[in-house]
A = this chain, B = another copy of it.
């Protein structure tokens, strides 16, 4: 039976980390809200009969299982599709990297929503300018340096984040580099040259046949200013 992915139909957002894993796995899945509309998402999300209602999208249905929280979905898919190591320590390390990427996703989102997700960007723009400045100058460099360092230290070589094979964490690193490069092109042009292994991993993921086919398809929603990664040039201005 095909997986059912429940996520907003018009943005990449957090759902994209799941989409990339499903695409790389060659798994059959229905992107429910893209096929049946956002109403199909909210219908399940708000259904009173669900014993394990997710707090927020994305969530994945696999038969009777309903799984929420992006990193948790990837933990599940990783085991099923060979996108995570079987060794316990390596499997936890993969998830640890994923959760660190999840932290970076929150921080990225909050550059345009530093006060509340219930207010528009225009209602919190001065705060966004201050938060984005700190994010560009202190947080992006720190995260990128960390990704570079763990690639450098991988005993199995710097082609993957964990061991010698692809994991869902590699796919997610690709996505966050893509997203940050869309949102903060000037900052990333400054930072990525200091992280050549991160840049090469990004290129290598983009060139994988299934990922490339996906990126070129209509299934890949373009980045836009409703998602997590938004291009507001004023937030990427250097000083």
Contact surface of A with B, Cβ cutoff 8 Å: 50-55, 64-65, 67-69, 71-72, 75-76, 89, 92-93, 95-96, 99-100, 103, 106, 110, 114-116, 118-119, 124, 127, 130-131, 134-135, 138, 143, 146, 149-150, 153-155
Contacts and interface: CB of A to CB of B under 8 A. Distances in A.
A3 to B, nearest CB: 14
A55 to B, nearest CB: 5
A130 B153 contact: no
A53 B96 contact: no
7 contacts: A51-B155, A53-B149, A64-B89, A65-B92, A71-B71, A114-B114, A119-B134
A14 to B, nearest CB: 11
A146 B55 contact: yes
A146 B56 CA distance: 10
- Overall SS of chain A's interface: helix
A54 B153 CA distance: 12
A92 B89 CA distance: 18
A21 B51 CA distance: 25
A189 to B, nearest CB: 23
A116 B99 contact: no
Nearest to A138: B118
B131 A100 contact: no
A134 B153 contact: no
Contact of A118 (B89, B114, B134): B134
A78 to B, nearest CB: 12
A10 to B, nearest CB: 22
Given A50-B153, A52-B150, A127-B127, A96 B67 contact: yes
Contacts of A99: 69, 71-72
Contacts of A71: 71, 99
Contact of A92 (B50, B72, B124): B72
